[in-house]
Amino acid sequence: MESARLPRASRMAPVSITRDEVSHLARLSRLALTDAELDHFAEQLDVIIAAVAKVQEVAAVDIPPTTHAAELSNVFRADVVEPCLGADVVLSQAPAAEQERFRVPRILAED
């Protein structure tokens, strides 16, 4: 099945974001930003938008979208039933055991 790809002409044209747009987004997000922060974020968002536009220029119509750079295959082992360790073997490795159970320090006081 072929994936539906947008034609080259309908891709997003490169745009930039203004300080006023950042201010508007901050108001919508209920963020109180200083003038210095608005200027700083406008510059950062402009760089991000330019990077996305550059990636869109490289994306070709004949290349299918991918989720990973390398193909992945199932790396799980077969689910095989094996006998488990006995309680005596497991408890022999525990720092403390009592009545065939792990003994752990008390963390709650009794009322």
Radius of gyration (Cα) for the chain, nearest Å? 30
Question: Where does the pLDDT of residue 59 fall: very low under 50, low under 70, confident under 90, or very high at 90 and above?
Answer: low
What are the angstrom distances between the C-alpha of 70 and each of 66, 67, 73?
9, 9, 10
Q: What pLDDT does 5 receive?
A: 46
Whether the per-residue pLDDT at 47 is higher than 50: the answer is yes
Mean pLDDT of 77-106: 91
Whether the per-residue pLDDT at 1 is higher than 60: the answer is no
Mean pLDDT of 46-58: 85
Q: For residue 73, what is the enclosing H or E element?
A: none
Instruction: Answer yes or no: are the C-beta atoms of 49 and 17 closer than 8 Å.
Output: yes
Q: Using one digit for the tens of pLDDT, what is the confidence trace for 101-110?
A: 999 988 888 7
Q: Using one digit for the tens of pLDDT, what is the confidence trace for 6-44?
A: 444 445 556 788 999 999 999 999 999 999 999 999 999
Q: What pLDDT does 12 receive?
A: 54
Domains of the chain: 12-58 (1.10.20.60)
pTM above 0.75, yes or no: no
